[in-house]
C-alpha cells in the first residue's frame, strides 16, 4: 500500500531554514506528480507547491515563491521541501501528498510534520 | 486565485441523519472539484473527485454533485466515523485552493 512518511520538521527561528523530506513507498514514485500541503494551527488546508513526475516543472503559492523550493530524487523515492527565510506565518503541519493519476487531486497523504517558526 | 466558500461552518447532526455540505466557487471551476474528509491527527482522505466520482474504497453513502460554481457533498445516514471536517478543493486554476472547511459534529 502507498506510504508517505515526512521528516525534518521542528522549531526554527524566523529567518532561518529547514528542509522537509517525504519518503515514498508502495507505488512507482517516478510516475506521479507530488505536492506539499500545509495546515496552520486552527486553520484549513492550504496548497504550497507541486513538482511534476520527472522534476522538470514546479509551481508554488505566491506567499512562498522565492523562499521555498520543491525537489525530488526519484532514485531515492523521496520528495523534499527546502524552506528558507521562514516566517511565523509559515508555522503549520506540512503534508506531502501524491497526485491521483495525472489529476491534481491528492489521493494519498503523509501523516504530517509540524514546523514551528518562533523566536 | 479562486476562492471556495463552504457552508455551513458547523453542522450538528445525529448518527443516521443525512448531511448536506455546500461549496461555492468565486468563479466557474467546471466540474474540477474534489472533497476530502479530515479527522483530527490523521491524514486527509480523498472522497470525491471531479465533482461526482467516488474515490477508491469510499462508501456509497458519500455522493457529490454540482458544476460551475455550486457543489454539494451529501452523506446519507451518518456513521460514527463520518464526524469530521470536510474540505472542497478546486483544480481548475493554479494555485490550487481549498475551502475553509465544514465540521460535521455529533448533535
Distance from CA of A113 to the nearest CA of B (A): 11
Residue A79 corresponds to which cell in the numbers above? 520528495
User: In a 10 Å sphere around its CB, with 0-12 CB exposed, 13-18 middle and 19+ buried, how is residue B58 labelled?
Assistant: middle
Which is it for strands B19-25 and B4-7: parallel, antiparallel or unpaired?
antiparallel
B22: how many CB neighbours lie within 10 A of its CB? 16
- Cβ atoms of B55 and B47 within 8 Å: the answer is yes
pLDDT tens profile A79-105: 999 999 999 999 999 999 999 988 899
Between B38, B45, B95, which is nearest A47 by CB?
Answer: B95
What is the pLDDT, as a whole number, of residue B51? 97
Residues in chain B within 8 Å Cβ distance of A62:
95
**Whether residue A1 has pLDDT greater than 90:** yes
What is the band of A78 on the pLDDT scale with cuts at 50, 70, 90?
very high
pLDDT at A65 over 90: yes
How many other C-beta atoms can be found within 10 angstroms of the C-beta atom of residue A100? Answer: 21
The share of chain B scoring above pLDDT 70, in percent, equals 100
| Probe site for chain A from B43, B86, B88, B94 (most A CB atoms < 10 A) | B43
The residue of chain B with its CA nearest to that of A94 is B43
**What residues contact residue A79 under an 8 Å CB cut-off, 6+ apart?**
A21, A22, A24, A34, A36, A51, A70, A71, A72, A96
Start-to-end CA span in chain B (Å): 35
According to DSSP, residue B55 is labeled P
Rounded percentage of chain A residues whose pLDDT exceeds 70: 100
* Successive 10-residue mean pLDDT values, chain B, 107 residues: 96 97 97 96 95 96 97 97 97 92 96
End-to-end, the C-alpha distance of chain A in Å comes to 40
Distance from C-alpha of B94 to C-alpha of B106, rounded to nearest angstrom: 35
What confidence score (pLDDT) does residue A115 get? Answer: 98
Q: What average pLDDT does chain A have?
A: 96
Amino acid at each position: 500500500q502507498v506510504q508517505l512518511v515526512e521528516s525534518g520538521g521542528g522549531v526554527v527561528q524566523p529567518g532561518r531554514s529547514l528542509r522537509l523530506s517525504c519518503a515514498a513507498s508502495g507505488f512507482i514514485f517516478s510516475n506521479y506528480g507530488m505536492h506539499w500541503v500545509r495546515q496552520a494551527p486552527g486553520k484549513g488546508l492550504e496548497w504550497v507547491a507541486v513538482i511534476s513526475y520527472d522534476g522538470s516543472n514546479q509551481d508554488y503559492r505566491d506567499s512562498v515563491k522565492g523562499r521555498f523550493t520543491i525537489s525530488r530524487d526519484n532514485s531515492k523515492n523521496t520528495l523534499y521541501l527546502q524552506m528558507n527565510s521562514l516566517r511565523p506565518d509559515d508555522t503549520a503541519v506540512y503534508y506531502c501528498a501524491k497526485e491521483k493519476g495525472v489529476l491534481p487531486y491528492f489521493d494519498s497523504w503523509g501523516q504530517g510534520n509540524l514546523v514551528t517558526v518562533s523566536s | 486565485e479562486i476562492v471556495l466558500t463552504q457552508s455551513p461552518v458547523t453542522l450538528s447532526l445525529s448518527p443516521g441523519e443525512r448531511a448536506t455540505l455546500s461549496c461555492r466557487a468565486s468563479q466557474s471551476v467546471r466540474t474540477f472539484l474534489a472533497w476530502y474528509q479530515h479527522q483530527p491527527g490523521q491524514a486527509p482522505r480523498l472522497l470525491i473527485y471531479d465533482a461526482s466520482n467516488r474515490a477508491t474504497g469510499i462508501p456509497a453513502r458519500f455522493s457529490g454533485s454540482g458544476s460551475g460554481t455550486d457543489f454539494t457533498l451529501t452523506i446519507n445516514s451518518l456513521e460514527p466515523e463520518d464526524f469530521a471536517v470536510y474540505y472542497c478543493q478546486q483544480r481548475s486554476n493554479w494555485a490550487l485552493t481549498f475551502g475553509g472547511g465544514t465540521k460535521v459534529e455529533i448533535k
